[in-house]
Chains A and B, each alone.
Chain A
Amino acid sequence: MKQLNYIVGRLLQIIPVLFFVTVLIFMMIHLIPGDPAETILGDKATVEQLTILRHQMGLDRPLVEQYLLFLKNLGTLNLGDSFIYHVPVTDLLANRVPVTIALTIMSTIFGALIAFPMGYFAAFNKDRAFDQGVRVWTLIALTMPGFWIALLLMLLFGLKLHWFPVGGLGEGLFGKFYSLILPAFTQALGLSALWTRNLRNNVVDVLRMDYVDFAKSKGLRDRVVIVRHVLRNALISTVTLMAMSFTRMLGGSVITETVFALPGVGKLMVDSIFARDYGIIQAITFIFALLVMVMNLATDISYSFLDPRVKLE
């Protein structure tokens, strides 16, 4: 029952944020220096063309009316046609959002596969060579730009060893999965460093706890102590950090998709900038915000089940 109250309250909290997010995205069109219609059509546009486009974009109406129109279009998914692909934006996005989400999920799994063993063994070998090595690695990995790693991986595994495709999305389920391996690994490297560091410190802290000594002195086997008492407690905060990293992972996908020529929303956003397709940029910015808000909501709600003490702020 308490959980239900929490969930309802948390959902209500989203409404004002969602409203202002749409206001912010709407206002972006007015960041364009000068007249948006002139910027889109270029110098050669005639006065008639400008007037027509201004009318189409609703720029000749009062600001509030413009906003309501924007909201209506966003809500009814009536986003017009893409300048680049000449198909409805909605169809384009429907094909591309799954690619970005698949990339993000795969990156998270790869990141966990790298971070969990590394952080765990580093903690159990605290201050020994392995721990020092992990420390140096995480320090460096956190400063490596994703697009650079992407190029180096592409060079090594794509061009030299021919293990993976250099870019693009493969055919069929396996082909798609296969072509996402290198991009996902790219994204996983940087974030796994953050997670490794966090897990290592958590395990070190938990190992100092009295309840671990107590569990050992009860005569429990080492494996039971580690799995049930140490790992379980150390992982809670790392998993929270991983959920928070979701936002960064989504942001990174813009760059990773561009380097690997993956047809996701991130690449579409970058392509649309150069095509001056402002409508798509607004729609994609909104989709990213929506994904972040849904993920944060899911994290908070699942957390309320894990730890019944959480309260609404």
Chain B
Amino acid sequence: MEPATAPNAAGDLAPAPAPATASARVKRKSIPFWRKSLALNLGIIIVAFVFFVGFFPGLIAPYNPNTQNADLMLQAPSAAHILGTDNYGRDILSRVIWATRADLQIGLIGTAIPFVFGTLVGLLAGYYGGVIDQILMRLVDIVVAFPFIVLVIAIIAFLGPGIYNLYMAISLVGWVPYARIIRGEVLVAKNLDYVSAARVLGYSDWRIILRHILPNVLSSSIVYTAADVVFCMLAGASMGFLGLGVQPPTPEWGQAISEGRVFIARAWWLSTFPGFALVFVGTGFSLLGDGLSDLLRTKGR
């Protein structure tokens, strides 16, 4: 319910009639979201570009990423090969472009599975409380007793290297932040009036959890996914670097940096450029995350 008197533009209380509040509301709505946050705009542009490159690398890459050429080994950057060539004579720019697919995939899948699983855990722990909450939160304590990367490496060590085991490892470890964020929000939301009302109406627990609570507790964990994409991508690249992630010849940035390591003294371009790609994509998602949280904060005020 709107109060009968609302502060007007000057900030003092005046007996403002209903139209004034209405117009104030219209005015606030009329600021489009893209004018609110520069970070969000930049983030959206970069992320959209990265998605385009990831889906259609063939349209942009000047050469086939796997074509080897013994005459063109370890060529420095030139007009024909802007970022140079590697030890097999493959075009680095093309490999960096094609690798977008693998790294973006790791970032997205490595975020999506833990997001769903962690959200579910958080909902159950927060809503039911009691023994279920105790058990699930002790599970959280166990996972956070390990450094993230150490647990991922240990799991891959036993499962064996490769992309699917990487997803498995990240999924087993990465759900914890989501469970914590969602649980905290559910603890607040479940005591709000609309949830009590739904309970009085005799709705089932699942209907209350999914239709009434879930939509109202998701926003902060959605903001967190942007940072998580960067985090998973870096973890995936680290595994590629250690030889535990994406296996050659599939191009992947971390693995490319590792391959260039041997030649770092005479051919710096092998390891340098894939790293810039990681930083570029990471910055894009970070900006998107910062922008989303800006937006959420202005919405809250």
Contact assessment for B265 and A159 in the assembled complex, using a CB-CB cutoff below 8 Å? yes
Contact assessment for A251 and B149 in the assembled complex, using a CB-CB cutoff below 8 Å? yes
| Complex: chain B residue closest to A17, CB-CB | B141
| Complex: chain A residue closest to B284, CB-CB | A143
Contact assessment for B154 and A255 in the assembled complex, using a CB-CB cutoff below 8 Å? no
A142 interface residue per 8 A CB criterion: yes
Contact assessment for A24 and B142 in the assembled complex, using a CB-CB cutoff below 8 Å? yes
Min C-beta distance of A113 to chain B, whole Å: 23
Question: Which residues between 238 and 266 of chain B lie within 8 Å of chain A, taking CB atoms?
Answer: 238, 241-244, 254, 257-258, 260-261, 264-265
| Complex: chain A residue closest to B274, CB-CB | A148
How far is A142 from B278 in the complex, measured between Cα atoms in Å?
11
Given the known A-B contacts A143-B286, A147-B257, A154-B264, are A292 and B149 also in contact in the complex, defined by CB atoms under 8 Å? no
Contact assessment for A148 and B148 in the assembled complex, using a CB-CB cutoff below 8 Å? no
Residues of chain A contacted by B230 (CB below 8 angstroms): 142-143
A87 interface residue per 8 A CB criterion: no
Contact assessment for A139 and B287 in the assembled complex, using a CB-CB cutoff below 8 Å? yes
Question: Which residues between 133 and 162 of chain B lie within 8 Å of chain A, taking CB atoms?
Answer: 138, 141-142, 144-151, 153-160
A20 interface residue per 8 A CB criterion: yes
Contact assessment for A33 and B159 in the assembled complex, using a CB-CB cutoff below 8 Å? yes
Taking a contact as CB atoms closer than 8 A, the residue among B147, B150, B268, B283 that contacts A155 in the complex is B268
Residues of chain B contacted by A269 (CB below 8 angstroms): 150, 153-154, 157
A144 interface residue per 8 A CB criterion: yes
Given the known A-B contacts A147-B254, A159-B265, A292-B145, are A17 and B150 also in contact in the complex, defined by CB atoms under 8 Å? no
Chain A contact residue count (CB 8 A cutoff): 48
Taking a contact as CB atoms closer than 8 A, the residue among B141, B157, B238, B257 that contacts A151 in the complex is B257
Contact assessment for B279 and A144 in the assembled complex, using a CB-CB cutoff below 8 Å? yes
Contact assessment for B155 and A31 in the assembled complex, using a CB-CB cutoff below 8 Å? yes
Given the known A-B contacts A154-B264, A255-B241, are A143 and B142 also in contact in the complex, defined by CB atoms under 8 Å? no
Taking a contact as CB atoms closer than 8 A, the residue among B146, B258, B264, B283 that contacts A292 in the complex is B146
Min C-beta distance of A125 to chain B, whole Å: 19
Question: Which residues between 30 and 45 of chain B lie within 8 Å of chain A, taking CB atoms?
Answer: none
B94 interface residue per 8 A CB criterion: no
A16 interface residue per 8 A CB criterion: yes
Given the known A-B contacts A255-B242, A273-B244, A292-B146, are A20 and B275 also in contact in the complex, defined by CB atoms under 8 Å? no
Taking a contact as CB atoms closer than 8 A, the residue among A252, A272, A274, A288 that contacts B146 in the complex is A288
The CB with the most chain B CB atoms within 10 A, among A29, A154, A251, A293, is that of A251
Contact assessment for A255 and B287 in the assembled complex, using a CB-CB cutoff below 8 Å? no
Residues of chain B contacted by A248 (CB below 8 angstroms): 147-148
Question: Which residues between 262 and 301 of chain B lie within 8 Å of chain A, taking CB atoms?
Answer: 264-265, 268, 271-272, 274-275, 278-279, 281-283, 286-287, 290
How far is A293 from B142 in the complex, measured between Cα atoms in Å?
10
Min C-beta distance of B181 to chain A, whole Å: 16
How far is A293 from B144 in the complex, measured between Cα atoms in Å?
9
A201 interface residue per 8 A CB criterion: no
1/0 contact trace for A145-164 toward B, CB 8 Å? 11110011011000100000
Residues of chain A contacted by B241 (CB below 8 angstroms): 145, 147, 255
Min C-beta distance of B122 to chain A, whole Å: 17
A66 interface residue per 8 A CB criterion: no
B237 interface residue per 8 A CB criterion: yes
How far is A32 from B155 in the complex, measured between Cα atoms in Å?
9
Min C-beta distance of B190 to chain A, whole Å: 19
Min C-beta distance of B73 to chain A, whole Å: 20
Contact assessment for A16 and B138 in the assembled complex, using a CB-CB cutoff below 8 Å? yes
How far is A21 from B141 in the complex, measured between Cα atoms in Å?
9
Min C-beta distance of A243 to chain B, whole Å: 14
Residues of chain A contacted by B146 (CB below 8 angstroms): 21, 285, 288-289, 292
How far is A252 from B53 in the complex, measured between Cα atoms in Å?
30
Contact assessment for A270 and B147 in the assembled complex, using a CB-CB cutoff below 8 Å? no
Given the known A-B contacts A145-B234, A159-B265, A285-B154, are A255 and B149 also in contact in the complex, defined by CB atoms under 8 Å? yes
Residues of chain B contacted by A288 (CB below 8 angstroms): 146-147, 150
Contact assessment for A159 and B159 in the assembled complex, using a CB-CB cutoff below 8 Å? no
How far is A252 from B153 in the complex, measured between Cα atoms in Å?
12
Contact assessment for A278 and B279 in the assembled complex, using a CB-CB cutoff below 8 Å? no
Min C-beta distance of A136 to chain B, whole Å: 9
Min C-beta distance of B256 to chain A, whole Å: 10
A41 interface residue per 8 A CB criterion: no
Contact assessment for B150 and A251 in the assembled complex, using a CB-CB cutoff below 8 Å? yes
Contact assessment for B159 and A17 in the assembled complex, using a CB-CB cutoff below 8 Å? no
Contact assessment for B157 and A258 in the assembled complex, using a CB-CB cutoff below 8 Å? no
Contact assessment for B149 and A252 in the assembled complex, using a CB-CB cutoff below 8 Å? yes
Listed A/B pairs (13) with beta-carbon separation below 8 Å: A21-B145, A25-B154, A28-B155, A31-B159, A140-B283, A143-B281, A144-B278, A147-B238, A147-B258, A148-B274, A254-B153, A285-B146, A289-B145
Q: A29-B158, A139-B290, A289-B145 are in contact. List 4 more A-B contacts (CB 8 A).
A: A148-B271, A151-B257, A247-B148, A250-B147
Nearest 4 A/B pairs, CB to CB: A143-B282, A251-B147, A148-B275, A251-B149
